Structure 1
Amino acid sequence: MVKHMTMTHFKPRLIVFDLDGTLVDSSPDIAIAINQMLSELNQATYSEQEIKQWLGFGATKLINCALTGELEPKIEPANLRQAMRLYFNFYSANICVNSQLYAGAKEGLEQLKLAGIKLACVTNKPALLTLPLLTEIGIKDYFQFIASGDTFQRMKPDPLPLLEAAKAIAVDPEQALMVGDSINDIQAGKNAGFKTAIVPYGYIGKYSIDELGADYQINTIEHLAKLVC
């Protein structure tokens, strides 16, 4: 059973946030770009809700899922490279049209920053999409460290980007918290030796909150700030 976080449990010096599904609801713009890609390839399109279940695993898997209609594609589609080019073109041109910060996200980041807690953003989104989204939605400057899915050789659930964040900010993993919405976030945090917190919204996929095995559950980022500041 996931514990609701309380002030007595843990006081992190570093908090690492996932991006899509944790800070930003980007699924509307992603779904539009995926369906534009599929239409260009003369393939069937999907609802935003269907596309949401494929989010959080990086762009390559997202596009694989869209091309095959499978959550765990067994064969790489022959037109994957063409599809990726189309998707990046469509999405990068409209990266923050319908995307929105989740309630309390910016307020929480502001409170955490003012309290002197170091903040990082680690996402599986490619860098060419991560930085424009963070900039356009107005939260890039809150982070002392940003890592995308292609920043290092491995991405979440591998612990490497989280450990690099802790190293860059000179914080021991035991003093860090990973906040996310998916199995990749929680596994990455645990693999890195971080405490982990799950938000009850976002792109949780096929899992229940309890199945993800996070140490804590928070309601919003602003809620987190009130607990640890």
Structure 2
Amino acid sequence: MVSVWKNVQQNRPEILKAVLFDMDNTLFDFVAVKLIACREILSYLGGGDRNLKEDPAELFSYFLRGTYGFEDYENIKDYMQERKVFTEQAYLQCCEIYDREKLQNLELYPGVRDTLEELKKLGLRLAIITDSDRYHARARLMKVGLLDSFELLVSADMTGTKKPDPAHFLFALDILGLKPEESLVVGDSIKRDMAPARRLGLKTAYASYGDWRPTEETEQCFDFQLKTFQDLIGYIGTLNGMLCSDRYIKKNQIDP
């Protein structure tokens, strides 16, 4: 049995041709590594003060304020200054710890690598659309061994803006030469990924397994919910009118 079995509808105009992935918390748990980085910063700053070591969530909360970007070092500086532990040397060391620990502790969600390989076998074009800058995005993808898995990377420094601004999605569609209905967006944020993509007419798969935020929207503004990354295979098979793999056929007890 071949690994891909196509089922009619060859002339279907809206057949899926590309998948645009958010990166952080969609491919890997980025909040987890940020908390590890915050813990290591507090351990460095705390010395004999156990209070600084006990709650990395307190430092992490500074990144959530919206005063600066989610990855901006100024959040660390504010924390240090408000607790009167700021020195230029210590600040630079904390920034180094922050970047090092985030990168070293990155691990893919289960099934990501195999699923991406299967999508490529189906002839789908794969891209990353991230609010990270290009340097850090490439470093993270290299760390988890996925840098060569995507033909396009769209980052915040390339578009000059961040999601939910539509620029990331439009940039990717333009470079790939595709229509919105020919593409699927996969992301963990309803507000920043699902809602803007759907408004543009792209198909949407909500990676709820990676959404660490409180509920952002009351309405279901996505087409499909992924409870695991591997769920993507079955959904794309449904979209394209095909059964994507022996595994999918067996799982759903379908006789080809």
- TM-score, normalized by the shorter chain, greater than 0.5: yes
Deviations 1:97-136 (A, max 9, x none): 2221111211111100111101111111222211111011
Question: Pick from 87, 92, 99: which aligns with 2:99?
Answer: 92
Does 1:31 pair with 2:38?
A: no
For 1:181, give the aligned amino acid: D
Q: Which runs of 5+ in 1 are unaligned?
A: 1-6, 70-78
Indicate if the aligned counterparts of 2:209 and 2:226 stay in contact, CA closer than 8 A: no
| Residues 11/207 of structure 1: CA separation in 2 closer, same or farther (3 Å cut) | farther
- Quote the Cα distance in structure 2 between the aligned partners of 1:103 and 1:49: 29
Higher-Rg member (1/2): 2
Q: Percent identity?
A: 28
Cα distance in 1 for partners of 2:61, 2:114 equals 25
Is the CA contact (8 Å cut-off) linking 1:34 and 1:66 kept in structure 2?
A: no
Q: Distance in 2 between matches of 1:113 and 1:171?
A: 17
Distance of 1:118 and 1:88 partners within structure 2: 36
**How do 1:48-197 and structure 2 match up within 5 A?**
51=60, 60-61=69-70, 63=72, 88-182=95-189, 183-197=191-205
Which residue is 2:206 aligned to?
A: 198
1:223 is aligned, of 231, 238, 246, to 231
What is the RMSD of the two structures over their aligned residues, measured on CA atoms?
3.8
What displacement does 1:93 show? 2.4
Relative contact order, higher structure (CA 8 A, sep 6+): 1
Amino acid at match of 2:158: T
Determine which of 214, 219, 222 is the counterpart of 2:222.
214
- List per-residue Cα deviations over 1:50-97 (Å, max 9, x = no partner): 949967x8971455777779xxxxxxxxx9xx9996665323323432
Q: Does the 8 Å CA contact 1:109/1:222 hold for their aligned counterparts?
A: no
SS in 1 for 2:210: coil
Q: In the aligned structure 1, how far is the partner of 2:225 from the partner of 2:109?
A: 16
Equivalent position amino acid for 2:29 in 1: D
Per the alignment, do residues 29 and 169 of structure 1 end up closer, same or farther by CA in structure 2, a change over 3 Å counting?
Answer: same
Give the TM-score of the pair, scaled to structure 2.
0.67
Secondary structure in 1 matching 2:209 = coil
Quickly say closer, same or farther: Cα 1:147–1:87, change in 2 above 3 A.
farther
Deviation, 1:209, is: 7.8
